[in-house]
Structure formats: structure tokens, C-alpha cells
Amino acid sequence: MSQASSVQSRYRINSMLSTGLYYLALTVFTIIVLVPFYWMARASVSNREQILMSPPLYFPTPTLENFGIVAEQVPLVLFITNSVIYATASAVIAVVTSFMAAYAFSRINVRGSGFLQWLLIITVSIPQVALIIPLYQILRSLQLLNTLTGLILVLSSLMAPFTVWVLMSFIKQVPQEIEEAATIDGASLLQILWRIVLPVTTPGIVTMLVINFINGWNDLLHPLSFSSTEEARTLSVAITYIYSYRASWGLPWNLVSTVGMIMVIPVILLVVIAQRSIVSGLTRGAVK
């Protein structure tokens, strides 16, 4: 065997080993991620006796009675409606305002703009728990406690800094010369944003809409802190309702898992539908 053939053979072996290790690591990671989801799905279609069986019953006979029990104990329709409004409005407001702020930071060079950008990003590191009391006082002074409007304003403002940072990377990909040429041709700022900047930043906008929607959908801290009535509470708060129904044998984990499945399924469907836009947005935003 010649030296070239020997080198080529070793290269193929190393390549096969690398590929095998890659898929092995990916398989292990997938199993680790899916096992908790499997147990939650299993518990949501199991009764109390099946959950407490030892050894555990891995494939129980599915039942939908848990969903009926949850619907009796929790106003699901109201909470789901509030969650959709809360998550959607917060995501849209955060993206629209952040898009305008990101364009201003990317195109307007004024003294101190760099400091303002860093100050905006630093706010992301502040624990949200530390902001509960001042935000509560602000909402109380504005008479927005126990309202979806107050919750939407709070969450959209908290999501804005990170959204601005992401959208800036997309806007900076648009050459300023194109905008200057459009201005010379008589295009207004609104036309430049709509016809030039927006098409380039669409993947980033879709990505941040999805991410912000998921954050709003899963948010528990703010609906629980700023709303004491069911009219302004979201689906995530339903878990606290189920926890209050403690039985003699402990927490009703089948009902808790049922609420978890009701929350997880819409997010999974959303990610599956928008996965191409999300991947495109994350990859295009990382490379200039």
C-alpha cells in the first residue's frame, strides 16, 4: 500500500469516527432533552394510580380525564385567551419599538450613543425579581394593576433591550450608501424603512417575534405578581391553582403535567412552523 493510500485510509477512519461521535453525542443530548417531556406527557394521560405504580408503567392506557378535571378547577378558556393576548401584544410592541430604536442606534451617530447602547444591554443582566417592587409601584400609580395592559407594558419593556441588540446586527448589514441613494431619489424615511431595511431584517424580526412570544407565553412572575384577579391572569398561573389542590397523597402531578402539556403544545407547534425563519434569523444575525 502506498503512502498516499495509507494517509487517505486514516483520513476516512478519522472522519467516520468523528461522524460517529457526533451522532452519538447528538443522540445522548436528544434523549436527555426528551425524557422529561416524555414523563410529563405520560403523566398527563395517566391517572393517580398509574403514576404511583412501582415499578413505573412506561406505556399506560391513555385517558383524557385529567384535562376535564383541570377544566373544572381552572378557567382554561379565560387563561388561554389572556395568554394569547399577553404574549402576542408584548412580542409585537417589543419588536416594533426595538426596531425603531435599533435603526436609530445604527444610523444616528451622536455623542454618547455607544454608552447608551451598553447601558441598554446592561439592563438585561438585572434580575427581574429585583424590579418587581418598583414596577408594582409604577403600575399602581398608573392604575394598571390587575389589567392585561399593565402586564403587556411591563413585559414588552423588559424584552426590548435584547431585541434592540439583535436587530442592530441585521440593520448594520444594510449598506448606508443604498439608503443615501434612495434619499437622493426622493424616498422618505418611512419608504426607506419599508422597502430597503425591512426586507433585510425580516428574518431577525420573525425570530424575535417568536422568541418574545414564547417568553410571554411562559412568563409566570409578572402575571402572578401584578394581577390578583382571574380576569388578568394567564395560563402559566394555572399551575399555581393546581398546586393548591393538595390531596392526602401529595400533589396531583397528573394535573400539573396536564397543564404543562397544554402550555407546551402551542410552543412546539409555533417553533415547528417558524423553524426555518428562526434558523435563518440566528445565522444571518451572527455573520456580517
Same structural domain for residues 183 and 140? yes
pLDDT digits (tens, 9 = 90+) for 222-281: 999 998 888 889 999 988 888 766 555 567 888 888 998 999 999 988 888 877 776 666
Question: What is the predicted pLDDT for the residue at 49?
Answer: 78
Q: Residue range 2-17: average pLDDT?
A: 71
Give the dihedral of Cα atoms 103, 104, 110, 112; nearest 10 deg. -90
- Rounded average pLDDT over 159-178: 88
Q: Kindly report the CATH number assigned to the domain that includes residue 91.
A: 1.10.3720.10
More confident residue, 111 or 96: 96
**212 neighbors 91 (Cβ within 8 angstroms):** yes
**Amino acid 247: pLDDT:** 56
- Count: domains in the chain: 2
**Tell me, what's the pLDDT at 281?**
61
| pTM value > 0.95 | no
Please indicate, yes or no, if residue 136 is contained in any of the structural domains: yes
- 20 and 132 share one domain: no
> Average per-residue pLDDT in the chain?
85
232 lies in some domain: yes
Domain co-membership, 258 together with 216: yes
The answer to the question of residue 71 being in a domain is yes
Residue 195 has pLDDT above 80, yes or no: yes
CB atoms within 10 A of CB 254: 24
What confidence category does residue 7 fall into, taking pLDDT thresholds of 50, 70 and 90? low
Give 250's strand partners: 247
